[in-house]
Amino acid sequence: MENNNLSKYTVSFGLALAIGSVANALLVVAKEKSRAIQSGMQKLTGSHWITHVVLVLILFFGIGFLFQNLKSASCIAMPANRLVRIILGGIVTGGAVIIGYYLLAD
Amino acid sequence: MRRSSLKPGTATNKKASMSEAMLMPHVFFGVACIMAALWVFVDALNASASNAARIRLVSRAAAAFMWVAFLAGGYWYVVFYPADKALILKGPLPMAHAYFMETKEHLVITLLMLVTYLPVAASNNLAANKDARRLVLWVSGIIPLLGLMIEGHGAIIAMGVKLALLAKQV
């Protein structure tokens, strides 16, 4: 028998993946545009890239566990097609911003 | 650092050897992750009760391979890459750093999250749930594409170092 419900973890971490991908790209632009942000990130761990990775991963796991712990499962329940579109949208947007920035703006 | 001037047993040579030793697991586990994701994609196309455990196992292996590749590459990037970066920027292909490395070092974070998500997506009952199967197909399908793109960037960065070293010798 077909059961087309996605688990809570699947939806919550799928949303976290999309948000994390876009946040990753926005952080790239922010640190490349602002020397203050980049040097602040550099001071935190000794490397702006390590800080970048840590921040994005905290966001990814933080949002994933936050959405997963929502009391009402219906808050984040959605069909797989919509989740796929959100994930693809996040990855393509994030990728395009990063590639576009280093190709054109930098 | 000129590779031609390396002498066995010198500190410079040891550092170069260490750099290569860190790069090998980075590339090896990166390729292993791509292969594992491709395996999950093909198995998910034919998802059934008989291959469900294998899909979960290989998707976890893909995530583990990616984390090893990421940690090895990250360590190499922070510790050894600054010397290569200086070479590349003075060489005939500065774009190997300015575009390819800059893009690679940030796109790989998205890839890391994507591969970490694969076992979560694969934990659903793929044999009975066609929506979950579609999700796993998308996720495991994007990983090899993004992974190969990032591997290609790595090859161009290595080419940038090689061209810079050749230009110094001429």
Quick one: which H or E segment has residue A78? Answer: none
Residue among A9, A20, A95 minimizing CB distance to B113:
A20
What is the structure's pLDDT at B4? 47
**How far is Cα A80 from Cα B136, in angstroms, rounded to an integer?**
10
Closest to B79 measured CA to CA, from B29, B19, B2: B19
Question: For B95-130, what is each residue's pLDDT tens digit?
Answer: 999 999 999 999 999 999 999 999 999 999 999 999
Which residues of chain B make contact with A23, given a CB cutoff of 8 A? Answer: none
B20 in reach of chain A (CB within 8 A): no
- Reported ipTM exceeds the 0.95 cut: no
Question: For A12-54, what is each residue's pLDDT tens digit?
Answer: 999 999 999 999 999 999 999 999 999 999 999 999 999 999 9
What's this model's pTM, rounded to 2 decimal places? 0.90
Question: For B24-59, what is each residue's pLDDT tens digit?
Answer: 999 999 999 999 999 999 999 999 999 999 999 999
**How far is Cα A72 from Cα B132, in angstroms, rounded to an integer?**
21
Q: Answer for the pair B135, A84: CB distance below 8 angstroms, yes or no.
A: yes
Residue B1 has pLDDT above 50, yes or no: no
Measure B99 CA to nearest chain A CA, in Å: 6
CATH number of B8-70+88-169: 1.20.120
Q: Answer for the pair B6, B13: CB distance below 8 angstroms, yes or no.
A: yes
Q: Do A47 and B110 touch (CB under 8 A)?
A: no
What is the structure's pLDDT at B29? 97
**How far is Cα B106 from Cα A68, in angstroms, rounded to an integer?**
26
Residue showing tokens 């040891």: B14
Residue B151 burial class via C-beta count within 10 angstroms: exposed 0-12, middle 13-18, buried 19 and up: middle
Residue among B78, B124, B142 minimizing CB distance to A6:
B124
Measure A85 CA to nearest chain B CA, in Å: 10
Percent of all residues in chain A with a pLDDT value above 90, rounded to a whole number: 75
Q: Do B120 and A9 touch (CB under 8 A)?
A: yes
Measure A37 CA to nearest chain B CA, in Å: 16
What is the structure's pLDDT at A78? 82
- Mean pLDDT for chain B overall: 91
Residue showing tokens 């890239």: A49
Question: What secondary structure letter does DSSP report for A7?
Answer: P
Residue A79 has pLDDT above 90, yes or no: no
